Structure 1
Amino acid sequence: PISSDDETLKLWDLEQGRELATLSGHSSYVRAVAIAPDGKRAVSASEDNTLKLWDLEQGRELATLSGHSHWVTAVAIAPDGKRAVSASADYTLKLWDLEQGRELATLSGHSGWVRAVAIAPDGKRAVSASADKTLKLWDLEQGRELATLSGHSDEVNAVAIAPDGKRAVSASDDKTLKLWDLATGEEIASFTADTGVLACAVAPDGVTLVAGDRSGRVHFLRLEGL
């Protein structure tokens, strides 16, 4: 699915390049979407302060997840497909039970918009990125903060976790991409771009990083000797 400013999502057949369905129901811009590991469901995040759970096979809404008091800016689904974590402009994250469509916990601690969230491969931890210039590591089983990752000097726009769950990479408007050790909460390495970095990802090989900056450049980096 693709999210949009027209308040809908669209499901596409990527092999044939054709639209399969339009998912309507949000009452404001849709800012993010995540697909469950089984490919049968998706969760969308909207500026109407809600998330929606969708059945992709039937193209219909299954549930509305309400609880945030401001825009929902990002969402990630756990590897088991049973839970999701949302990030919001209300400075919080929320953990959701997707099978029952209910809120399990509110994760509080950031002092600015939470712009992004990633869930570790084991499904037990999550890392959030915020406009307060920090990232936070969360214990999803106990619903508590484990560590604050400090080092950026401007808003943190994105975060991704390596496939082994041991490291995370973050992208910031301070023009840097930073690599973090999640066991110690320490910064391992930093790459500086010419403009703010908006997005980042870790390849399945665990050593290739990809980042996009505000100038439109895409950077490919390889981790060596770490």
Structure 2
Amino acid sequence: SPDGEFVASASGDETVKIWKLATMEEVGTLKGHSDYVNCVAWSPDGEFVASASSDKTVKIWRTKTMEEMGTLKGHSGWVFSVAWNHDGSLLASGSWDGTVRLWTPDGQEKGTLRGHSGYVSSVAFSPDGKTLASASSDKTVKIWDLSGGTPVEKGTLKGHSDTVGSVAWNHDGSLLASGSSDKTVRLWTPDGQ
């Protein structure tokens, strides 16, 4: 959680568990998915957890009450990754169907980003929320500009020789790290250097 008090874990048992870090005790189990849960992400204010599942959905949960707030449906394949933007107003999800989808927390789909030729394994918003990075089995990372009304593909980072499984920004958005099955981690500037 953003305050460092709790940990959320995703599992093949189709649940998300919330743990109190200080005592290592389970404080809640979030049940509702019908297949593996592949990824969880806390909202910036710690009020919600988003979970991405092989049941092709993303679910939003209120952490205080452990209740399901909604289900984001639209992907046609397993959902591998989910991320919140800096202020919790937008989520991104990456899927086996090769797309990234943008959502509001109340379930409105705000866009579908197409361009990868493989599945999307990881998504990450820049710290200011204006840029999104997506990693794929097509061996690339794509950079998407979200600053205007319509998301625009800004560039493709090429250099890995195998599936890119993870992407993460540094604290100020000046660098992006990508981790790949080619056994390397690469560092990039957002313009592809």
Q: Where on the TM-score scale, by shorter chain, does this alignment land: which range?
A: over 0.9
Q: Which residue of 2 aligns with 1:154?
A: 162
Q: Distance in 1 between matches of 2:30 and 2:146?
A: 29
Q: Does 1:65 align with 2:72?
A: yes
Equivalent of 1:111 in 109, 117, 136: 117
Q: Which has the higher strand share?
A: 1
Q: Does 1:128 align with 2:173?
A: no
Deviations 1:25-55 (A, max 9, x none): 0000000000011111010000000000000
Q: Which residue of 1 aligns with 2:145?
A: 139
SS at match of 2:97: coil
Q: Which residue of 2 aligns with 1:180?
A: 188
Q: Distance in 1 between matches of 2:125 and 2:170?
A: 10
Equivalent of 1:29 in 36, 50, 55: 36
Asked if 2 retains the 8 angstrom alpha-carbon contact of 1:51 and 1:72, the reply is yes
* One-letter code aligned to 2:189: D
Deviations 1:131-157 (A, max 9, x none): 000000011242121100011111111
Q: Percent identity?
A: 49
Q: Which residue of 1 aligns with 2:3?
A: none
Q: Distance in 2 between matches of 1:123 and 1:145?
A: 15
* One-letter code aligned to 2:173: G
Q: Distance in 1 between matches of 2:134 and 2:46?
A: 24
Q: Distance in 1 between matches of 2:89 and 2:144?
A: 18
Whichever of the two has the greater Rg, that structure is 1
Deviations 1:68-125 (A, max 9, x none): 0000000110110111100000000001111x32110000000001111111000111
Q: Distance in 1 between matches of 2:70 and 2:31?
A: 13
Asked if 2 retains the 8 angstrom alpha-carbon contact of 1:95 and 1:140, the reply is no
Q: Distance in 2 between matches of 1:153 and 1:13?
A: 40
Q: Distance in 2 between matches of 1:140 and 1:105?
A: 10
SS at match of 1:39: coil
Q: Distance in 2 between matches of 1:181 and 1:3?
A: 31
Deviation for aligned residue 1:167: 1.1
Q: Distance in 1 between matches of 2:57 and 2:50?
A: 10
SS at match of 2:28: strand
Q: Which residue of 1 aligns with 2:53?
A: 46
Q: Which residue of 2 aligns with 1:15?
A: 22
Q: TM-score, normalised by structure 1?
A: 0.80
Asked if 2 retains the 8 angstrom alpha-carbon contact of 1:52 and 1:64, the reply is yes
Q: Does 1:75 align with 2:82?
A: yes
Extract unaligned runs of 5+ from structure 2: 1-7
SS at match of 1:45: strand
Deviations 1:186-206 (A, max 9, x none): 2xxxxxxxxxxxxxxxxxxxx
Q: Following TM superposition, where does structure 1 have runs of at least 4 consecutive aligned residues deviating by more than 6 angstroms? A: none
